[in-house]
Chains A and B, each alone.
Chain A
């Protein structure tokens, strides 16, 4: 079974803090994704990566950056957290043209 592990289930940060969300997958997948999910808005893609050190912007990249130094790890960075970044963050991985497998999610609250 594919396992996608997100480092934190719940996180509370203050406005202006730099926040790191970590995601690790164990299936040697080429692709990794970061989504946020908000009520009524569904899953919105922030960034994705199709190879080590390669990244592409999704639909809502503003205020976020990512890092993929190793194939199994994909990090989402909030350079200066703001209250409108309070959300559920979901990491996923997939093989080429294959379905996504999700981690358990990180509920981030920015106060």
Chain B
């Protein structure tokens, strides 16, 4: 079982719709969770971090964490063509600085 799993996609959504990206992780000791966006040919850039159960909102982005079910998700409201990118989920186990990434989900927002 992979430590961090994501559906590779592509996930296609129409402009203005909600995009839902999911990530599951295997280590119950995981305590820090991050979502990154990566455009083709560029390095990953941080969108959001989340550390406790529940929802965290930042503009059009909402991260959701459910530690009991070991999943973290990212919702993008009012999706724009500029949101088309690969979204990477990353997880850090508590008390340990190693950060493990999923393979990423490619999102395509269709105008």
Contact = CB atoms under 8 A, between A and B. Distances in A.
Given A97-B32, A97-B92, A56 B98 contact: yes
Interface string B40-64: 0011111001000000000000000
Interface stretch (A14-22, A43-51, A63-71, A77-85): A43-51
Contact of A102 (B8, B45, B49): B45
Interface residues of A, number: 27
Contacts of B34: 99-100
B65 to A, nearest CB: 15
Interface of A: 30-31, 33, 35, 40-45, 48, 50, 56, 58-59, 90, 94, 96-105
Interface of B: 8, 31-32, 34, 42-46, 49, 88, 90, 92, 97-104
